[in-house]
Chains A and B, each alone.
Chain A
Amino acid sequence: MNTTKRLGLLGFMITGFAGVPAFAAPTSYPLEIENCGETVVFEKAPENAVALGQNSAEIMLLLGLEDRMAASAFWPNDVLPELAEANGKVETLTVEFPTLEAVLQQQPDFVAAMLTTLMGPDSRVAKRGDFEDLGIPTYLAPSACSTSLDTGDAYGSRDQLWNMDLLYKEIDDLARIFDVQERGDAVIADFKAREAALREQFPKNDDLTFLFWFSSASAADDAYLGGGNGPSGFIADLLGGRNALDTKAEWPTLNWEGIMAADPTIIVATQVDRNRWDLDKAENKIAFLENDPTVSQMEAVQNGRIVVMSGAAMNPSIRTLYGAEEIARQIKAFDSGE
């Protein structure tokens, strides 16, 4: 037993000191991470992590960490199909906001969050200090805190267009925290290649404008749209176009007259899985667009330029790239059909 341990230690020391140049360097603990203006120290790789928010959970699953996750919470959309099996091993506390007690009950040794409403200074769920006082390290998505660092606004508008760099930083940080850099590098490389491929296929086109329709309480109500410098604008930019709305608000509501005046060339009807309203469903959105006597007169509807995308893509997340690809496939189908 003692000999085995010593041999193990020796082996560790050799690989540790010699380094393995072909791979990313392993994390040496204690690890210090700068995150959203705070320094977080990790004494060891987490073994019982809690992910607050779909994006934090999906990144961990992409990194193959399902065995080191205790639970997750807050899922506006269903999990990515390719991650469903892994996610089955992780308890879902609730698809809505969880309570701090429910999170602590999991005896977490690490908590990562996607939004400041889930873990931030004004959060009614949890503050970073709640965990730090217990010696539990935390991580907040850079996409979430960048808004407050940019504009002093804890949640809403950004002063520049969101982009994947914030997400790559998040993936890289989480990979280092869990000591799975190789996997993290692979995920980032994959995403970067996919992002570049889209940019290449879709050169700048001034005539291309997108309307991102998240949902509406009813057809008569103002629609709940994507605007500002959020991920929707990033998707439009990635595909060579721009958001049809000029508003600064990241989630504006607008009536249909205003939408018709914006005159988008492509309408994105999102599929939202939470099922709060009828118009969460993409098919109901399309039925309204095509059957309403006024709205159906829009050029995009007349030309049949309505595409479907997962609503999760409109949040700053890995799903944003998947959403862009979803739209890209449909635009290409239009172009080849015409």
Chain B
Amino acid sequence: MRTATDIGAGMRLFLLLAVSALVLVVAIAAATAIGEYNIPVRTVLLTVANEFGLTAADVPKIEASVVWNLRLSRSLVAALCGAGLAICGTILQALLRNPLAEPFVLGVSAGASTGAVAVLVLGIGAGAVSLSLGAFVGAFAAFAVVALLSNGATSGPNHTILAGVAASQLFNALTAYIVTTSASAQQARGVMFWMLGSFGGVRWPQFHLLAIVLLLCLAICFLMARALDAFTFGDEDAAALGIPVARTRLVLFAVTALMTATIVSQVGAIGFVGLVVPHAARYVVGPVHMRLLPASAVLGAVFMVIADIASRVIVAQQTVPIGVVTALVGVPFFAIILYRARPQT
């Protein structure tokens, strides 16, 4: 019986991955072709082919730059961030055995924002490196606060979520304090835009940074997939299975903080993806992490690329913050999952 379920889940994972990968490619292609600047599909194709060295066609410089430097880099960054946030959510939900756990809810995004805003507004250091470093310090500070408030990482999962809510409030307040006391009118607006997340400033250097950090973190997570399964049964069961509980937990928390901090520092705090996508993935492939992690990653990527296309085309000549779109698109979707997953009575 159990074997049959596993085979079913395996098939479903295969189908999900195959379909999602196809959808992801189509979505990235669409994101590269769609935009305010009207560019013929032929030009788009030739630009990409040129960049890969397949052709040497004559393409207008501005159009080629829009396709390659603005759209393609941006959609790939969106895919990476979606995958990363979904993985973070999956891991935190397993570690804390709480379906509401994700970087945003636990205050990690808020902490990363505070760190980044401090660098941005107060002018501590300069440039992208210090911004990421600020976000990273902030993310870890938030984690420390959550750990302290929830009395180490050993107390109940609900406790940790409440601690996360408190940490979110604290760090959002600190961010608001920095902004109100130091920022100008334009800056306050810029920071707000940034706190809701945006792929607007993204180019190839951001992609390279995210690709290195996220691929490394994702690899570590996959290596620990079995441990994550054990955590979902509780710490004692995990220990009984021979898993070094404290050390594994620390490594996974650190990896989550690193991923979140890197993402927040580059594109701002984007909520919802880490919360919803793991549930959707679990609904399709079940709770086993060897399947759940890749399913979450690819679903998160697809969701984010599509959400980014929406954010660019909803309002003409303006970009709606990506956090707004993820929530507007994601909440109805989440409602369906909640509704279908309700206990049978």
Contacts and interface: CB of A to CB of B under 8 A. Distances in A.
The answer to whether A binds B is yes
Interface of A: 93-94, 96-102, 104-105, 107, 115, 117, 121-125, 127, 130, 133-135, 148, 151-157, 214, 224, 230, 249-253, 315
Closest 9 CB pairs of A and B: A152-B123, A124-B200, A155-B187, A101-B37, A101-B36, A124-B201, A153-B123, A117-B190, A251-B185
B16 interface: no
Given A123-B201, A124-B200, 12 more contacts: A93-B317, A99-B36, A101-B66, A104-B65, A121-B127, A124-B198, A125-B201, A127-B201, A133-B65, A152-B126, A153-B123, A153-B182
Contacts, number: 106
Nearest to B267: A124
A249 B179 CA distance: 10
A194 B189 CA distance: 33
A155 B62 contact: no
Given A214-B185, A249-B182, A105 B38 contact: yes
B69 to A, nearest CB: 7
Interface string B170-190: 000000000011111111111
B327 interface: no
Nearest to B199: A124
Contact of A124 (B62, B122, B193, B312): B193
B127 to A, nearest CB: 7
B72 to A, nearest CB: 13
Interface residues of B, number: 38
A101 B123 CA distance: 29
Given A102-B317, A152-B126, A156-B121, A125 B200 contact: yes
B35 A251 contact: no
Nearest to A107: B62
A91 B180 CA distance: 34
B30 to A, nearest CB: 15
B165 to A, nearest CB: 25
Interface of B: 35-38, 61-62, 65-66, 69-70, 120-123, 126-127, 131, 180-190, 193-194, 198, 200-201, 203, 312, 317-319
Contacts of A117: 186-187, 189-190
B184 A253 contact: no
A121 B35 CA distance: 23
A252 B188 CA distance: 11
Contacts of A122: 120, 131, 190, 201
B318 A98 contact: yes
Nearest to B120: A122
A224 B186 CA distance: 13
A37 to B, nearest CB: 12
Nearest to A123: B201
Contacts of A127: 201, 203
B317 A98 contact: yes
B74 to A, nearest CB: 10
A41 B198 CA distance: 32
B37 A153 contact: no
A130 B122 contact: no
A258 B185 CA distance: 20
